[in-house]
Structure 1
């Protein structure tokens, strides 16, 4: 949790609501930057285990396992809610060692389409090896549930889909969207694999004859190269790199078009935030994205690396204010109907309660 991402936001929101509902919550994470999160203000305990990292590293992974085991022996939780592939595997092993039921939430499988072949094989084997230690697997999209069934990761009765959800907001009376001289495009994503800010910048560089501005929100190792690209193309007056932003809501409300290009995804919270703000979406059709974006209804879907279609869709939305409004309204309606926080939270809590109850019966 030293970077902002969809899975981290999901964990934060769940933890805060659980704490507000009088549950005791402790978050155990790898690297942790408290300035990015509201956990301290909500008096939620956070334990950082720096050895826990994304890449597989046998020595550090064993360190993580034993440090997590020591922490959980002290906390004595009723349930472990594990998120992300690496922490998910370590959490389930420790849960099994300590006899604590574990629910795993897959935010996007590490063997999904677009992931390099060797990594796919490694992570699918790892998931199969720990699924027997799992009380329940929550997938955030139907795409991911069906993919896991196809790969025979776990039996159908052990998995269910709970779509991500976020809080509703009171919309501002007069957003700055109307004041913008040129249509403002925004992309919210880490500058890391699998995100493709590079593709968006390449497409926009070829649309310099029409008015647009771009804000890129997020940070990461790929950012410096893209800043150089923007400078070389003479686009520094049209492209803004805003870095990490704790509050993206007002920035989205001031924008006209939301873009998320990725090589793979789960169910992106950034798209849900854009839908809440009433924005038309252009996104890569990967993972569960088409469960959020209906092509030609609340936005446009495109295949990976299809820069020609990307340019065409960008131009359509940039040049047609009525289309932007129509698709943005459809986005907001879809959000209110399917992706608000409370139903997601209630379904997730019910899964946790069932896992605890089932474990208690086994103990009897």
Structure 2
């Protein structure tokens, strides 16, 4: 949790609500940057295990496993909620050792379409190996549930789709200033694989005659090269890199269009935030994106490599304020109908409670 991403936001929101509902919550993570999260102010305990890295590294992984085992022996949790591929595997192994029921949430399978073939094969084998140690697997999209079934990762009774959900806003956001003079595009994503800020910039730079401005929220290792690229191409006056931001909601309220290009996804919380803000959306047709966006309704879906269609859709929305308004309204309605926090939270809590109950019955 040293970077902001959808899975991390999901964990934070769940943890805060669980704590507010009088559950005891401890988050165990790899690297941790407290300034990015409100866990400290909510008095939620966080244990950082720096040996827990994203990439597979045998000696560090064994070290992380041992340190996690030591931490959980002290915490003595009723249930482990494991998130992301690496932490998910280590968490389930330790849960099995200590006889603690474990629920795994797959935010996007590491063997999904778009992932390099070697990595895809390795993670598919890993998921099959640790599946027997899992009480229940939550997928954040129906796409990912079906993918797990197709690849033989787990039997159907172990898999359950619970779509991501986020809090409704207490106050309606202020009406967005919308003008054909310079519509503001927003993309919220870390500057790492599989996000494609580079593809969006390349498309926009081929539309110099179309009025547009863009703000990127997020940080990561790919950001410096893209900042240099923008300056070298002479577009620094149109492109702003804002870095990590705590007030994403307020910034989205100023935008007229949201774009998220990725090589693979689960069910992006960034798109759900854009829907809540009443924005039309352009996104690549990966993972569960089509469960959020209906093409030609609340936005446009494009194939990963279709550069011409991307430019066409950008031009269409950047030059048609009425279409932006129509699609933005559809986004907000869709969010309120299907992607609010409360139903997601209640379904997730039910899974945790059933996992505890199931192991208790086995013990009897």
- TM-score bracket, shorter-length normalisation: over 0.9
Q: Equivalent residue for 1:114?
A: 114
Q: Equivalent residue for 1:186?
A: 186
Deviation at 1:228, TM superposition (A): 1.1
* Separation in structure 2 between the aligned mates of residue 31 and residue 269 of structure 1, nearest angstrom: 22
Q: Equivalent residue for 1:292?
A: 292
CA contact (8 A) 2:284 2:303 kept: yes
Q: Equivalent residue for 1:14?
A: 14
Q: Equivalent residue for 2:232?
A: 232
Q: Deviations over 1:257-315 (max 9, x none)?
A: 00000000000000000000000000000000000000000000000121111100000
* Separation in structure 1 between the aligned mates of residue 270 and residue 99 of structure 2, nearest angstrom: 36
CA gap of 1:180–1:171, structure 2 versus 1, over 3 A, is: farther
* TM-score (structure 1 length as normaliser): 0.99
- Summarize the alignment of residues 1-364 of structure 1 with structure 2, pairs less than 5 Å apart: 1-172=1-172, 174-178=174-178, 181-364=181-364
* Separation in structure 1 between the aligned mates of residue 71 and residue 174 of structure 2, nearest angstrom: 49
Q: Deviations over 1:73-126 (max 9, x none)?
A: 000000000000000000000000000000000000000000000000000000
CA contact (8 A) 2:178 2:256 kept: no
CA contact (8 A) 2:183 2:212 kept: yes
DSSP 3-state at the match of 2:185: strand
CA contact (8 A) 2:260 2:284 kept: yes
CA contact (8 A) 1:199 1:305 kept: no
Deviation at 1:210, TM superposition (A): 1.4
CA gap of 1:89–1:282, structure 2 versus 1, over 3 A, is: same
DSSP 3-state at the match of 2:166: coil
Deviation at 1:181, TM superposition (A): 4.4
DSSP 3-state at the match of 1:177: coil
* TM-score (structure 2 length as normaliser): 0.99
* Separation in structure 2 between the aligned mates of residue 180 and residue 217 of structure 1, nearest angstrom: 23
* Separation in structure 1 between the aligned mates of residue 186 and residue 97 of structure 2, nearest angstrom: 45
Deviation at 1:177, TM superposition (A): 2.4
CA contact (8 A) 1:192 1:220 kept: yes
* Separation in structure 1 between the aligned mates of residue 202 and residue 173 of structure 2, nearest angstrom: 35
CA contact (8 A) 1:295 1:301 kept: yes
CA gap of 1:313–1:226, structure 2 versus 1, over 3 A, is: same
Deviation at 1:173, TM superposition (A): 5.9
* Separation in structure 1 between the aligned mates of residue 173 and residue 61 of structure 2, nearest angstrom: 50
Deviation at 1:170, TM superposition (A): 3.3
CA contact (8 A) 2:164 2:341 kept: yes
Deviation at 1:179, TM superposition (A): 7.2
Deviation at 1:180, TM superposition (A): 8.6
* Separation in structure 2 between the aligned mates of residue 91 and residue 326 of structure 1, nearest angstrom: 45
CA contact (8 A) 2:187 2:258 kept: yes
CA contact (8 A) 2:180 2:321 kept: no
Deviation at 1:49, TM superposition (A): 0.0
CA gap of 1:113–1:245, structure 2 versus 1, over 3 A, is: same
How many residues align? The count is 364
Stretches of structure 2 that go unaligned for 5 or more consecutive residues are none
DSSP 3-state at the match of 2:198: helix
